[in-house]
Amino acid sequence: MSAGEDDIVIVGAGIVGICAATYLAEAGRKVTVIDRTGICEETSSGNAAAFAFSDVLPMAQKGMAWQAPKWLLDPLGPLSIPPAYLPKLAPWLWRFLRAGSPARREAALAAQVSLMRLAEAEWMGLMERSATRPMLREDGSLELYESEAEFQASLPGWNERERFGIAFRHLAKHELSEYQPGLSEQFLRGTFVPGWKTISDPKLLGKAIWRHAQGQGAAFVAGEVGLIMPANGRLTVQLRQGRTIGAHKVIIAAGAWSHLLARQIGDRIPLETERGYNTTLPADAFDLKRQLIFSGHGFVITPLETGLRVGGAVELGGLRRPPNYARSRAMLDKAKRFLPGLKTEGGRQWMGYRPSLPDSLPVIGRAGRTGDVFYAFGHGHLGLTQAAATGRLIRDLVLGQAPAIDLAPFSPQRF
Ligand SMILES: Cc1cc2nc3c(=O)[nH]c(=O)nc-3n(C[C@H](O)[C@H](O)[C@H](O)COP(=O)(O)OP(=O)(O)OC[C@H]3O[C@@H](n4cnc5c(N)ncnc54)[C@H](O)[C@@H]3O)c2cc1C
């Protein structure tokens, strides 16, 4: 059955898919978003809520080499790889390590900076247009260090950010309580980043943006896309539930599952998932002044309107393995040590699938063999931050306009 002659179909109603839908609907295009669950119900629902515009360092650099061996030794530590998954992961890991070479790292850094500048401008504009600006917190972030060695190891990264005009201020021990009262004595240094922003709740923001998109005419269809096929100069999107939807253009924004659809249309994209965990505590669990970042332990604590979210970590364990919520508990136990007054009762545990490419850059561009299919996925740790910029860039591509930034570093064909 052909259920319609939709102009543009977007697969995936995570924050990236709905931002793309919003920009295209605002441009007057007929947009249908298809998702098997709902609007921002998966990875985009439970993340750490940061607009991390200053987080420009590629993961292959970001202290990884220094920390990874120690982290891997702790089964519930910030980084884990289930041994049985290692053979499947090996090609991605190899590319990840190569992405850490000086030349590739520098290129990825410059590309990330250009995307982040666009990201900030686009989010501020989109928040105005969708009346979501009250959901923004502009109180910066506080990164904390337990030793002078850890602080010193962070300095090259801060110097790199300084090159791109990112503001920060290093703090001595006696200044920390001004930025966050109630911290454990074990923290000796800190860095305050004033331009770091958070939002009141990522799921609520996603749903509010979607209401704006709906107001511009975007529609939602519940279903799981099984197949995307070219047919008679158009595209046919088949749902596993039996329905077929026709489209002139299709955008794949299916998060950590996107490569499965891209492979059907001839593109092999090395997408992996970095699974992350957290616990959301009741809002009165602690009087948190801003987002706290414990880089040495791979997690953050975020004050949300809906609670206090404690989590992070990376588990390179694929899409099928059941969640191991001992990871959420391990971070909560540490958070209690770092903030002795934290009330840890009444939390809700969660796991999400970061969609990650080995060079820490997303894929934003056209499919190799079918010019009417576009990709918008692989934002890893930064999908919330970069969603509005991605929506803008996808709109530029679909409308045949010059993209707002050079898209070569984000090309699906770069692998
Ligand atoms: C613990 C954690 C903390 C994080 N913190 C931050 C942060 O503070 N700031 C930040 O910027 N980013 C953060 N991230 C990353 C961010 O959450 C992701 O990059 C982002 O949510 C990805 O959005 P997406 O739209 O690409 O994918 P998703 O949100 O996963 O959406 C993809 C959608 O596609 C749907 N789908 C998949 N396949 C199909 C199919 N075949 N048919 C129909 N539907 C399909 C899924 O149901 C899903 O709804 C964090 C991630 C984690 C795990």
The verdict on residue 176 lying in a domain is no
Res 404: pLDDT: 97
* Atom number, ligand 1, closest to the C-alpha of residue 384: 11
Structure tokens at 336: 């209690």
Q: Residue 1: what pLDDT?
A: 35
Q: What is the DSSP string of 86-105?
A: HHHHHHHHHHHHHTTSHHHH
Ligand 1 centroid–CA 303 distance in Å is: 20
User: Which ligand 1 atom sits nearest the alpha carbon of residue 385?
Assistant: 11
Q: Note down the domain range covering 363.
A: 1-55+103-126+200-269+358-415
Question: Can you read off the two tokens belonging to residue 217?
Answer: 């005419």
Which ligand 1 atom lies nearest to the CA of residue 225?
42
Residue whose C-alpha is closest to residue 385's, from 210, 196, 200, 259: 196
Backbone angles phi, psi at 393, to 5 degrees: -70, -35
Q: Point out the ligand 1 atom lying closest to the alpha carbon of residue 50.
A: 8
For the chain of 415 residues, list the mean pLDDT of each consecutive stretch of 10. Answer: 66 98 97 98 98 89 66 84 94 91 90 97 98 98 96 94 95 98 98 97 98 98 96 91 94 98 96 98 98 96 97 96 96 98 98 97 95 96 98 97 98 96
Assigned token pair, 207:
């749903």
Going by CA atoms, what residue is nearest to atom 25 of ligand 1?
14
Pocket mutation for ligand 1, best pick of 34, 41, 44, 314 (most atoms within 8 Å of C-beta): 44
Of 35, 26, 396, 94, nearest in space to 240 by CA:
35
- For residue 51, being part of any structural domain is answered with yes
Number of domains in the chain: 1
* pLDDT value of position 211: 98
Q: Which of 293, 384, 410 to mutate to test the pocket of ligand 1 (most atoms within 8 A of CB)?
A: 384
Closest CA to ligand 1's atom 50: 47
What whole-number distance in Å separates Cα of residue 198 and Cα of residue 205?
11
In a domain, 317, yes or no: no
Residue nearest to atom 33 of ligand 1 (CA): 12
Nearest-CA residue for ligand 1 atom 4 is 47
Distance 342 CA to ligand 1 centre (A): 28
- Token pair in block for residue 246: 């026709």
- Please give the Cα distance from 333 to 43 (Å, whole number): 23
Please name which of 72, 12, 77 lies closest in space to residue 256, comparing C-alpha atoms: 12
How far away, in angstroms, is 78 Cα from ligand 1 center? 20
Residue 406 falls inside a structural domain: yes
Range 215-246 burial, b when 16+ CB lie within 10 A, else e: ebebebbebebeebeeeeeebbbbbeeeeebb
**What is the DSSP pairing of strand 136-137 with strand 79-80?**
unpaired
In a domain, 186, yes or no: no
**Residue 144 identity (one-letter amino acid):** L
Amino acid letter, residue 160: E
Q: Ligand 1 centroid to 403 CA: how many Å?
A: 24
User: HSE (CB half, 13 Å, CA atoms) of 95?
Assistant: 15
In a domain, residue 187? The reply is no
State in Å: Cα 354 to ligand 1 middle: 6
CA 325 to CA 333: how far, in whole Å?
13
Indicate which CATH number applies to the domain containing 362: 3.50.50.60
What burial letters (b/e) apply to 327-349, b meaning 16+ CB within 10 Å? bbbbbbebbbebbeebebeebeb
In the structure, which protein residues have their CB atom closer than 6 angstroms to any atom of ligand 1? 11-17, 34-37, 41-44, 47-50, 52, 224-225, 253-257, 276, 278, 311-312, 352, 354-355, 377, 379-385
* Residue 408 maps to a domain: yes
Element holding 205 (H helix, E strand): helix 202-215
Neighbours of 64 (CB within 10 A): 18
State in Å: Cα 361 to ligand 1 middle: 15
pTM assigned to the model: 0.96
> Which residues is 226 bridged to in the sheet?
none
35 Cα–ligand 1 center, Å: 12
Question: Can you give the pLDDT at residue 66?
Answer: 63
Does residue 91 contact residue 270 with C-beta atoms inside 8 Å? yes
Residue 29 in any domain: the answer is: yes
Size of the chain in residues: 415
**Closest Cα to atom 26 of ligand 1:** 255
Q: How far is the CA of 193 from the centre of ligand 1 (A)?
A: 25
pLDDT at 101: 87
